[in-house]
Amino acid sequence: MPIAKIVHIITKLELGGAQLNTLYTVTHLDRKKFAPYLISGEEGILDADAEKSGVPFYRVPQMVREIRPRQDISAFWALNSILRRIRGSEPRLPVIVHTHSSKAGILGRWAARFARCEGIAHTYHGFGFTSEQSAAVYAAFVYAERIARPITDRFICVSRNNIERGAAKRVLRPEHTSLIRSGISIGEYSSEGKDRKSARREIGAPEDAPLVGMVACFKPQKAPLDFVEIAALVAREEPRAWFIIAGDGELRPDIERRVAERGLGERFRLLGWRRDIPELMSAMDVLALPSLWEGLPRVIPQAWAAGLPVVVTAVDGSAEAVSDGENGFLFQPHDIESAARSVLRLLREDALREKIREAGFKSVAEFDIDLMVRQQEQLYENMLNIV
């Protein structure tokens, strides 16, 4: 018989790292020890996967990313009701609520507190407060995190940088914080057995063209418009180069306009949401990620496992994982010229590209997804010892 019910709450099951890892966790927890549940908010592309997973899945449609006070209150009470129902289904088993993302993190933790759940954990996959926000919005997000801190038993961060920043902002308690990397299925991304030529044909790129890729949601955090600018500079120096982005989102019309303005034409492909990222990576020569902020993006270890050199912004956990010039290249946010120079070096210098690839592959072991699940299970067991 399980020793506890584990309820994961996330704002939206879109096709992102935090969402995929949450879904993997609830479907791979040891069922002899834990009974998993999953709650999500507004509709997302992974909802169908959650419904087919065999894990009890609840949706709270009124829980959305934007701050909407009336909806947020409604979402809080809906979460509270679901948690009370889960608690009552087997009263002898303690309930641990594990939240992810900013909105679900705030509403879910308070709903768990009012539902008298025995344990509350929260994972920071990054922070909801960023330098791109107005001072008032930034302060509001920090305040919301601070008032949720005392009711949180355990905090999880995906990078040491996030632990340090969270401690400095007083939104977590370092002594109750664990470092658990955002995991990937390392073997799935290996280039072994992948058909590079077929992947390129599907994309429409020539077999011998240098191919630079990005994998991300089309939202301001990921700065996809900066990727277009990087592509324009690279294309000026390397006319044979092609570029792809796998993802979709609110900035798609802006990206399409910018691609046209820069005259990139058919050499720049927007692939939409994709489930075949390992195959797409086998077609690439370099992966670039110009994010403005991050926790620690899974796409970095994914690229390493695929044997891809990376060029990424020196932000948060990305700067912690990547050593500039050793297992990848770093550049400052919006420094388009520096990023383009690094991409061009990797495309032109075979020995450098091979060196970076080998170092990246050696860096990937700590990102194993099953290790991530085992570390979370250990955290839950430690929490139960104080219940």
Annotated domain spans of the chain: 4-183+368-384, 186-366
**CA 201 – CA 340 distance, rounded (Å):** 25
pLDDT tens string, the chain, 387 residues long: the values are 789 999 999 999 988 889 999 999 999 999 999 999 999 999 999 999 999 999 999 999 999 988 899 999 999 999 999 999 999 988 899 999 999 989 999 999 999 999 999 999 999 998 888 777 888 889 999 999 999 999 999 999 999 999 999 999 999 999 999 999 999 999 999 878 788 999 999 999 999 999 999 999 999 999 999 999 999 999 999 999 999 999 999 999 999 999 999 999 999 999 999 989 999 999 999 999 999 988 888 999 999 999 999 999 999 889 999 999 999 999 999 999 999 999 999 999 999 999 999 999 999 988 999 999 999 999 999 999 855
**CA 83 – CA 61 distance, rounded (Å):** 16
> What pLDDT is stored for residue 296 in this prediction?
86
Query: What's 193's DSSP letter?
Result: T
CATH number, domain 186-366, options 3.30.930.10, 3.40.50.2000, 2.60.40.10, 3.20.20.210: 3.40.50.2000
> What pLDDT is stored for residue 71 in this prediction?
96
CA 108, chain centre distance (Å) = 19
Burial of 362 (0-12, 13-18, 19+ CB in 10 A): exposed
Angle (CA) 18 288 230, round 5°: 130
Structure tokens at 87: 């608690």
| The two domains 4-183+368-384 and 186-366 share their CATH topology (first three levels equal) | yes
> What pLDDT is stored for residue 26 in this prediction?
98
- List strands edge to edge, sheet with 242-246: 268-270, 242-246, 211-215, 286-289, 310-313, 329-331
The topology (CATH level 3) of 4-183+368-384 is Rossmann fold (3.40.50)
> What pLDDT is stored for residue 376 in this prediction?
98
pTM for the model: 0.85
